[in-house]
Amino acid sequence: MRHVTRPTLGILGGMGPLATAAFYRRLVELTPAGSDQAHLPVLMWADPAVPDRTAALLGQGPSPVPALVEGARWLQRAGVSCIAVPCNTAHAYVEQLSKATGVEVLDMIKAALETAVRRTPGLERVGILATRGTRLTGLYEQAGARLGLDVIQVPAPVQEEYVDAAIRAVKAGAETAGPERWIATAAESLKEQGAQAVVAACTEIPLISGSAARVLPVVDSTDALAEAAVLRLWRPGSAPAPLRARERTR
């Protein structure tokens, strides 16, 4: 395979396919490019057969690490500068992935929380809407502690009845009206616990977070990762102002 010479982003995706497509779209929209040729080179490995990350973390399925390492090594051989993994739950395996390949993996969790801090003046308590697998890892709690944030989760019944159900519906390609209501209900639960903002910490959730955004400010973890990728690979000094100025377009 021909190695590209410009700084190139590798996308390790397919978890799920629609979320990966949404990430790439946001990457393009957030890049301050004036022509097709000015956009970032991107190489994508999108394997929807990667074993379910939440099931693995719950001890109910095989590890996704071999499949993730296979994709990362393909991207490494192709010459990428760093890798974005648009799946919050997969970040439980990022350390193993980095050790196996030596490739830099952008930190989606840190990017999402830093975005929440930047966009919500005086933020002290942030709610997380995520898979059960992401909750189990404590990734957001650990990153939040480093930033001085109190990270809270929805109660277990709300997780099962509303959040898990909404994520499954999006992955199955169901109509979005019901799942959007469920995520708004989950956001209400977080607001009752004192959350000042919510991180949509599963890449399916931003696709159905319109109503939740009327409950609390919602930080899209997909957007945060896309912005981090642009800031990492774009020409030095040219990215921050356009990124702040651009509004969400979807």
**Rg, the chain, Cα only:** 17
Q: Does the annotation count 87 as an active-site position?
A: yes
Cβ atoms within 10 Å, residue 207: 21
Q: Does the annotation count 82 as an active-site position?
A: no
Marked catalytic residue, from 40, 84, 87, 226:
87
Marked catalytic residue, from 202, 207, 218, 226:
202
- Please give the single-letter amino acid code of residue 148: G
CA 104 from centroid of its chain's CA atoms = 16
Q: Residue for token digits 């990428």? A: 80
The residues assigned a catalytic role are 87, 202
